[in-house]
Amino acid sequence: MSGVLVHIALFLLMGTAIVTLGTFYSDADDGRARQAWPRRMLGFFGGCLVLVVVMLVCEHTFASLG
Amino acid sequence: MALDPKPARRGDPTVAALLTWFLPGAGHAYLGQFGLGLALFALVDGLFFLGLQLSNGMTFEFLDPELRSPFAPVLSPEIGNLGGMLWQMRNHGFGPGIVRPFPEAIVFGSMLAALSGVLNGLAMCHAHTLARASSVQVAHRVLLPTAAGFVVPGLGHLMQGRRARGLVVFALLMSCFVLGTLLAEGSNLSRERHFYYWAGQFGIGLPGMLAELAFGKLRVTSDIPYVDGGLVFGCVAGMLNLLALIDVYGWSESQELGLPLKSSEPESPAPAASKVEIRL
């Protein structure tokens, strides 16, 4: 379990870095970047959550050895 | 920063950048700056050939035999100095095909050759700006913060007066790089072990080079549990710094050359012009 938590913590840090730098790259203006950042964070982590659910469903159906 | 008063085209910016890519300084010579071109040639290719000398041209022999192909070195920082990289591939390539000991100074030599690629990338940006700027000083002012961002992540933003952004860039990228190095127990600093991860990580700049010189020769004596995570963290930190450098360059360019700032948000519509009634 602790391994999963470590992976989640590492993913959150990496995701935050990717989204923040992506926002800076897209919006040169600080005000606009600050406005866009929460929406981008939500989109990134929400998308990742959907992907995790899809992969878990696939794992327990198509790829299930049982 | 003052706006460039007389933006003028000295030549085609794309041609200037491409010429520099093939031969450092050639783009500046094309734009009439022969002295600067010669100095850049001496600096970039001097570093490259010094690195080649120290490494005995064996850097690409770090690649595993199954990864060796004519395009394999394209994903290395040396690609920034295309002429030099082609010269190295032609004269040294992947070696004679037998396993042989690497020279003592190969870590430093390989780093210098990679650094010449990054410097030539900056020279390409300088040439591209110079082609559109009224003076060399304007191009210098555009490039200086970008180069500073390679020395220390976030420093370029600080030089532009964007303190909050610079501090966020520094904190995020350095924490990713340091955490990656800790997770990989320093093995991420070895180009010999992780050729392509190292290439991405090289974008973090001077901190990465100093860490490699200090800890790049650590021996791996046992299994490293989070080595994959560490490699990804280091590599992504370096590549994200390249995005930060593009942001710095774009900001300087817009300030100095009067170009519009990059934004993902649509511009708000301009207020409708007031109607003017003309009565005769």
What's residue B269's pLDDT? 54
* pLDDT tens string B101-125: 888 899 999 999 999 999 999 999 9
Q: Is the pLDDT of residue B6 over 70?
A: no
Interface probe with A: pick from B146, B158, B167, B168, most Cβ of A within 10 Å = B168
pLDDT of residue B268: 55
Quote the CA–CA distance of B63 and B93 in Å, as a whole number.
Answer: 11
Q: What percent of chain B has pLDDT over 70?
A: 91
pLDDT by residue for chain A (66 residues), tens digit each? 578 898 999 999 999 999 999 999 998 888 889 999 999 999 999 999 999 999 999 988 887 776
- Number of CB atoms found within 10 A of residue A9's CB: 10
A22 contact residues in B (CB cutoff 8 A): 243
Number of Cβ atoms within 10 Å of the Cβ of B31: 27
Decide if A30 touches B, using CB distance below 8 A. yes
What pLDDT is recorded for position B225? 87
pLDDT at B52: 93
Model confidence at B264, in pLDDT bands (50, 70, 90)?
A: low
- Average pLDDT, rounded, for chain B: 88
Question: For the complex shown, is ipTM > 0.90?
Answer: no
CA B114 to chain CA centroid, Å, is: 9
**Which residues of chain A have a CB within 8 Å of the CB of B261?**
28-29
End-to-end Cα spacing for chain B: 48
Per-residue model confidence (pLDDT) at position B277: 52
Indicate if the pLDDT at residue B274 is higher than 60.
no
Q: Which residue of A has its CA nearest to B228?
A: A7
Summarize the confidence of residues B206-232 as an average pLDDT.
88
The answer to whether residue B88 scores a pLDDT higher than 70 is: yes
Band (pLDDT 50/70/90 cuts) for residue B235 is very high
Reported as a single tens digit per residue, the pLDDT across B154-179 is 999 999 999 999 999 999 999 999 99
DSSP line for B90-158: HHTTT-SSS--PPPTTHHHHHHHHHHHHHHHHHHHHHHHHHTTSSSHHHHHHHHHHHHHHHHSTTHHHH
Are the beta carbons of B178 and B193 closer than 8 angstroms? no
Helix, strand and coil in chain B, % to nearest 5: 65, 0, 35
pLDDT in tens, B36-84: 999 999 999 999 999 999 999 999 988 888 888 888 889 999 999 999 9
Give the model's confidence band at B265: pLDDT under 50 very low, under 70 low, under 90 confident, else very high: low
**Which residues of chain B make contact with A26, given a CB cutoff of 8 A?**
262-264
Predicted model pTM = 0.87
Taking the CB of residue A40, how many other CB atoms lie within 10 A of it? 18
**Is the pLDDT reported for residue B280 higher than 50?**
no
> Which of B82, B230, B65, B245 has the alpha carbon at shortest distance from B148?
B245
Is the pLDDT at B252 greater than 60? The verdict is yes
